[in-house]
Amino acid sequence: MTNQNILSKLPYSKPFLFVDEIIRIDENGVEGSYTFDENLDFYKGHFKDKPVTPGVILTEVMGQIGVVCLGIFLLNDTIKKDTAIALTSTNIEFLKVVLPNEKVTVISEKIYFRFGKLKCKVMMKNTKEEIVCRGEIAGMMI
């Protein structure tokens, strides 16, 4: 399965699609990137005059790249249009802020994939290679 095929199977669209590129993917993990456009609506109110990316959005980016893209790859051709994807748990530690127009890279390592549940160790880095946030995310694909 090509990276473009994986991106085409993501169940998101703009403005809630947070994957620009899959850099590498195999059965053990994925690496991908996303750049936060300064015109995204959540920047208008989070925070006045000094906008930062909300932690819930950072978690979503890690989930889309680190769990959903990897899950689609692992399911390969068995994924269908009616496949449901649901987040089941997160444990994320936030270390740095992400500003508008900043590019981030997500690195995900599979912990396990069984019975339709995928759990991954995820990390987000900025362009300075600093860790922005890290933790674990799990999701189900049914």
Catalytic residue (choose from 46, 119, 121, 134): 46
pLDDT in tens, 76-128: 867 766 677 888 999 999 999 999 999 999 999 999 999 889 999 999 999 99
67 contacts 108 by C-beta, under 8 angstroms: yes
Residue 125 CA: distances (Å) to CA of 2, 18, 50, 99, 102: 24, 15, 21, 13, 11
Domain limits, the chain: 3-141
Round to whole Å and give the CA distance between 24 and 118: 18
pTM above 0.85, yes or no: yes
Decide which of 3.40.50.150, 3.40.605.10, 3.40.50.2300, 3.10.129.10 is the CATH code for 3-141. 3.10.129.10
> Does residue 46 carry a catalytic annotation?
yes
pLDDT in tens, 25-49: 999 999 999 999 999 999 998 888 8
12 contacts 69 by C-beta, under 8 angstroms: no
Q: How many residues does the chain have?
A: 142
